[in-house]
Structure 1
Amino acid sequence: MKRTMKIKTLLVAAGFACAAISCDDITDLNVNPSFPTEVSPVSLIAPIQQQMARGIQFDSRYLGSYTQYHSVSTAGNVWDRLGYSQNTDAGGEIWRMTYFAMGLNITRLQEGAIEAQRYDILGASKAMRAWSWQVTTDYHGDLLKFDQVFTQRLTFDYDNQETAYAEVQKVCADALADLARTDGGVNASYMAQGDKVYSGDRSKWIKFVNGILARNANNISNKSTYNPDKVIGFVDKAMASSADDFVIKFNGNITDDSNFYGPLRNNWSSFRQTDFIVRAMDGSIFTGAIDPRMARVLAPSVGSSETAPASAANPDPTKYTYNGNPLNTLAATTGTSRIPNLWGTYSVGLSTDIGRYLFRNNVDFPIMTYVEMQFIKAEAQFRKGDKAAALITYKNAVSNSIDFVNKYTIARTTFPITTAISAAEKAAFLANVNLIPTDNTKLTLSMIMMQKYVALYGFGYLETWTDMRKARYGTDIYPTLNTVPNPANGGLFLDNNGKLPYRVRPRYNSEYVWNFGALQAIGGDKIDYHTVEMWFMQP
Structure 2
Amino acid sequence: MKNITKYIAVSVATLLLAACNRDEIADVNINPSFPTITEPIYLLPNIQASMALGVQYDARYIGKYIQNFSHSTANYIWDQYGYSANSDAGGEIWKMAYYSIGLNLTQAIDVAQKNERYDIVGLSKAIRAWTWQVSTDYHSDLIKFDQVFTSRLTFDYGTQEDAYKEVARLAKEGIVDLERTDGKSQPSYTAKGDLIYNGDKSKWIKFAYGILARNANNLSNKASYNPDLVIEYVNKSLASINDDCYVKFSGIANSDTNFFGPSRNNLSSFRQTDFIVRAMDGTVFTGAVDPRMANVLSPSADGIFRGNPLSTSAGTVAATRIPNLWGTIVSGNSTTPGRYLFRNTADFPIMTYAELQFIKAEAAFIKGDKATALDAYKKGIAGSIDMVNRNTVVSTTAALITAAQKTAFLGNPNVVPTAASLTLKHIMMQKYVALFGHAYVETWTDMRKYHYDPLVYETLAIPALSTDNNGKLAYRVRPRYNSEYVWNFAALEAIGADKADYHTQEMWFSKP
Query: TM-score when scaled to structure 1?
Result: 0.90
CA 1:283–1:34: 2 relative to 1, 3 Å: farther
Q: Within the alignment, does 1:410 sit opposite 2:393 as a pair?
A: yes
Residue 217 of structure 2 contacts residue 363 of structure 2 at CA under 8 Å; is this kept in 1?
yes
Aligned-pair distance for 1:421?
Answer: 0.8
Would you say the 8 A contact 2:241–2:386 is kept in 1? no
Aligned residue for 2:425? 446
Q: Write the distance in 2 (CA, Å) between the matches of 1:135 and 1:382.
A: 25
* Matched residue, 2:506: 533
Q: Equivalents in 2 of 1:204, 1:420: separation in Å?
A: 27
What are structure 1's unaligned runs of at least 5 residues?
Answer: 1-10, 304-319, 486-490
1:182 CA drift (Å) = 1.2
Q: Where does the alignment leave 5 or more consecutive residues of structure 2 unmatched?
A: 1-9
RMSD between superposed Cα atoms in Å: 1.8
Match of 1:500 among 473, 476, 481: 473
Residues 369-428 of structure 1: CA distance to partner in whole angstroms, max 9, x if unpaired? Answer: 111000000001111101111111111111111111011011112xxx211111221121
- The match for 1:114 is 113
State the partner residue of 1:68. Answer: 67
Letter in 2 for 1:73: S
Offset from partner CA, 1:259-315 (integer Å, 9 cap, x none) = 101001110001000000000000001110000100000011011xxxxxxxxxxxx
Q: Residue 360 of structure 2 corresponds to which residue in structure 1?
A: 377
Residue of structure 2 aligned with 1:466, choices 424, 434, 445: 445
Q: Which digits, 9 at most, give the CA deviation of each residue in 1:158-186, with x for residues without a partner?
A: 00001111111111121111111111111
Give the aligned partner of residue 225 of structure 1: 224
2:457 to 465, 478, 485: 478
CA change 1:34–1:358 in 2 (3 A) is farther
CA distance in 2, matches of 1:522, 1:132: 21
Match of residue 5 from structure 1: none
Paired letter, 1:132: T
**Partner residue of 1:242?**
241
Matches within 5 A, 1:296-315: 296-303=295-302
In the TM superposition, what whole-angstrom CA distance separates every residue of 1:38-60 from its partner, at most 9, and x where no partner exists? 21122111111111001001000
Amino acid at match of 2:469: N
CA distance in 1, matches of 2:259, 2:28: 40
Return the offset for 1:519. Answer: 0.5
The one-letter amino acid paired with 1:346 is I
- CA distance in structure 2 between the aligned counterparts of 1:521 and 1:31, rounded to whole angstroms: 44
Cα distance in 2 for residues equivalent to 1:29 and 1:225: 59
Q: Distance in 1 between matches of 2:128 and 2:324?
A: 34
Query: For residues 426 and 293 of structure 1, what CA distance do their matches in structure 2 show?
Result: 9
Change (3 A) 1:24 1:232: closer
- Summarize deviations over 1:442-477 as a string: whole Å, max 9, x none: 110000000000000110111000000011000010
Q: Distance in 1 between matches of 2:272 and 2:152?
A: 44
Question: 1:42-81 residue pairs with structure 2 within 5 A?
Answer: 42-81=41-80
1:333: Cα distance to partner? 2.1
Q: Which digits, 9 at most, give the CA deviation of each residue in 1:300-343, with x for residues without a partner?
A: 1011xxxxxxxxxxxxxxxx100110000011122311011000
The yes-or-no answer on 1:338 pairing with 2:321 is: yes
C-alpha distance in structure 2 between counterparts of 1:379 and 1:373, whole Å: 10
DSSP-derived class of the 2:271 partner: strand
Equivalence for 1:313: none
Which secondary structure state, in structure 2, belongs to the residue aligned with residue 262 of structure 1?
coil
Identity between Structure 1 and Structure 2 (%): 61
Which residue identity lines up with residue 82 of structure 1 in the other structure? Y
Equivalences for residues 153-172 of structure 1 within 5 A: 153-172=152-171
SS in 1 for 2:350: strand
Aligned to 1:354: 337
CA distance in 2: counterparts of 1:441 and 1:22, whole angstroms: 79
Cα distance change, pair 347–27 in 1 and its aligned pair in 2 (3 A):
farther
1:520 to 493, 497, 500: 493
CA distance in 2, matches of 1:499, 1:24: 63
Matching of residue 423 in structure 1 with residue 403 in structure 2: yes
Task: Note the 1:6-25 alignment, pairs <5 A.
Answer: none
Once the two structures are TM-superposed, the CA of residue 141 in structure 1 deviates from its matched residue by 0.2
| TM-score for both structures, normalised by structure 2 | 0.94
Aligned residues: 497
